[in-house]
Amino acid sequence: MADDIPDIVIGRLPIYLQALTRMIEDGDKTTTSSQELGERLGISSAQIRKDLSHFGEFGKQGTGYHINYLVEQLRRILHLDREWPVALVGAGFLGHALAHYGGFKRRGFRISWIFDVDAQTVGQKLNDITIRHVDNLEKVIRREKVQIVVLAVPAVAAQGLADRLVDAGVGAILTYAPISISVPPGVQVQYSDPVVQLQRMTYYLDAE
Amino acid sequence: MADDIPDIVIGRLPIYLQALTRMIEDGDKTTTSSQELGERLGISSAQIRKDLSHFGEFGKQGTGYHINYLVEQLRRILHLDREWPVALVGAGFLGHALAHYGGFKRRGFRISWIFDVDAQTVGQKLNDITIRHVDNLEKVIRREKVQIVVLAVPAVAAQGLADRLVDAGVGAILTYAPISISVPPGVQVQYSDPVVQLQRMTYYLDAE
DNA sequence: TAGATTGTTAATCGATTAACAATC
DNA sequence: TAGATTGTTAATCGATTAACAATC
């Protein structure tokens, strides 16, 4: 399978997966069409068909897509046909929210290790996981071959931790720190900063 | 000022603003160039110049951009030259994390109202704000002319709340619910779903 | 002046959409 | 068969980049 799929296509697949999973939960039908899916997501049907066509032929003319089958295929394509263990760095308010979030396990991920720098916090349990000192970060990452890490730490700590994680072999970082981090090519980074997201909308609001 | 600025350009401006603000904090220089800014962000210098050129001429040949001035201009363009009051719906773990997040006030936002549906939670204080029952949502939104709302609620509740918010006049919604919501044209929506972000990266990881 | 860097143009690149033959 | 919908092609649209005159 050729590996020149545009990033932007990969980025939409989880959205398709989410909508399809919800259709299964709703349970009122077993097939869907690119048009129906597109209407739910505000995406053109042509784009959905085009995106999927990068990976194979999953539908049938006249009837559309079998939802269960398409979900299965998307999971396979996105490597979600397994459970990914995740390390969380930072056990503040955000770390707590993430540690308690039930959506991870349900959708293919499991927070398995939690690190913090604060001596008061280290040793406590957070949703059944004992918080380790961040000094042990590389040791655990290497030993457990952790590939995915979530950073819920202040901006000043983010780049240093990213460097250490990359060095220890991590391949994907989801960071909540409000700062751009620099990693070598091939290492994946996703950013989540609520303020940046709000700032993307105020342009369109009346400054009354 | 013409209003055909691509969304994708607007989306990058907060990132520029973030990096420039950090340069100010670092305090080691007063000017920067499109090249330097681009290197920090992994964006080409040409793109930064092009993006800025939609709004005016902010630099000087030979010397680049005065950081303070460019920050001021970006704030003006993005309507961040004021403090935006924000309503938060959902006072669970994520709501707590958001309510305690110091980054809002520092960067132009203030969580001013918090709503929840749980009778136990309503009436309690969260970072000095009394949690109201979500039944009062429209009343407060209308009276206070709230334009921005953050949804930290389960997926099942998101669309219903979005409908109510839009009806009450809200113009921008940041939602953490793992579901696509549908709003009329002109209403802004930003999504934040950690699982979707993780799922965008696993494709590139070895499924060892 | 010489060096640096902008703002802008034109070229390139890539993504989206429209349309339709194929076919369930 | 008639209707529906796919997968794919070609056209369109839009975004990025390279290059450079202008100028600080």
Amino acid making up residue B9? V
What distance in Å separates the CA atoms of residue A175 and residue A155, rounded to the nearest whole number? 10
Hey, which residues 115-174 in chain B have their CB within 8 Å of chain A?
Answer: 145, 147-148, 150, 155, 171-172, 174
Q: Say whether residue B100 is in contact with chain A using an 8 A CB cutoff.
A: yes
Q: Output the 3-class SS for A138-190.
A: HHHHHHHCCCEEEECCCHHHHHHHHHHHHHCCCCEEEECCCCCCCCCCCCEEE
The one-character DSSP state at B4 is: -
pLDDT digits (tens, 9 = 90+) for A124-152: 999 999 999 999 999 999 999 999 999 99
Per-residue 3-state assignment (H helix, E strand, C coil) for A73-103: HHHHHCCCCCCEEEEEECCCHHHHHHHHCCH
Question: Measured between CB atoms, which of B11, B82, B195 is closest to A109?
Answer: B195
Contact criterion met (CB below 8 Å) for B58 and B52: yes
pLDDT digits (tens, 9 = 90+) for B133-160: 999 999 999 999 999 999 999 999 999 9
Under an 8 A CB cutoff, do A18 and B179 touch? yes
pLDDT band at A96 (very low <50, low <70, confident <90, very high): very high
pLDDT at B169 over 60: yes
**pLDDT, position B1:** 41
- CB of B162 closer than 8 Å to CB of B153: no
pLDDT for A208: 61
CA A90 remoteness from chain centre: 17
Convert the pLDDT of each residue in B172-191 to its tens digit.
999 999 999 999 999 999 99
| pLDDT score, position A206 | 81
Average pLDDT over residues A103-122: 97
Task: Render pLDDT for B44-93 as a digit per residue (tens, 0 to 9).
Answer: 999 999 999 999 999 999 999 999 999 999 999 999 999 999 999 999 99
Q: Do A180 and B40 touch (CB under 8 A)?
A: yes
Q: Which of A73, A197, A206, A208 has the highest number of chain B CBs within 10 A, making it the mutation to test binding with B?
A: A197
Q: Which of B52, B6, B19, B13 is nearest to A200 (CA)?
A: B13
Instruction: Determine the pLDDT at residue B3.
Output: 61
Please report which confidence band the pLDDT of residue B207 belongs to, taking 50, 70 and 90 as the band edges. low
Q: How many CB atoms lie within 10 A of CB B42?
A: 11
Q: Residue B104 is nearest to which of A79, A188, A195, comparing CB atoms?
A: A195
Decide: CB of B16 under 7 A of nucleic strand C. no
Give nearest nucleotide to A63 (CA–C1').
Answer: D5
* CA angle A124–A128–A129, rounded 5-degree value: 60
The SS3 assignment for B184 reads coil
**B contacts of A195 (beta carbons < 8 Å):** 14, 103-104, 107-109
Interatomic CA–C1' length for residue A64 and nucleotide C24, angstroms: 9
Distances (CA, A) of B201 to A159, A160, B207: 19, 21, 12
Q: Is the pLDDT of residue A2 over 70?
A: no
Query: Could you say which of B14, B97, B202 has the minimum Cβ distance to residue A196?
Result: B14
Computed from CA positions of residues B55, B58, B61, B63, in that sequence, does the dihedral angle turn out positive or negative? negative
- Best A110, A144, A174, A202 member to test B by mutation, with max B CBs in 10 Å, is A202
In chain B, which ranges are continuous DSSP H helix?
Answer: 7-26, 34-41, 45-53, 67-77, 93-100, 103-106, 137-144, 155-167, 194-202
Q: What is residue B163's DSSP assignment?
A: H
> A19–B148: do the CB atoms touch at under 8 Å?
no
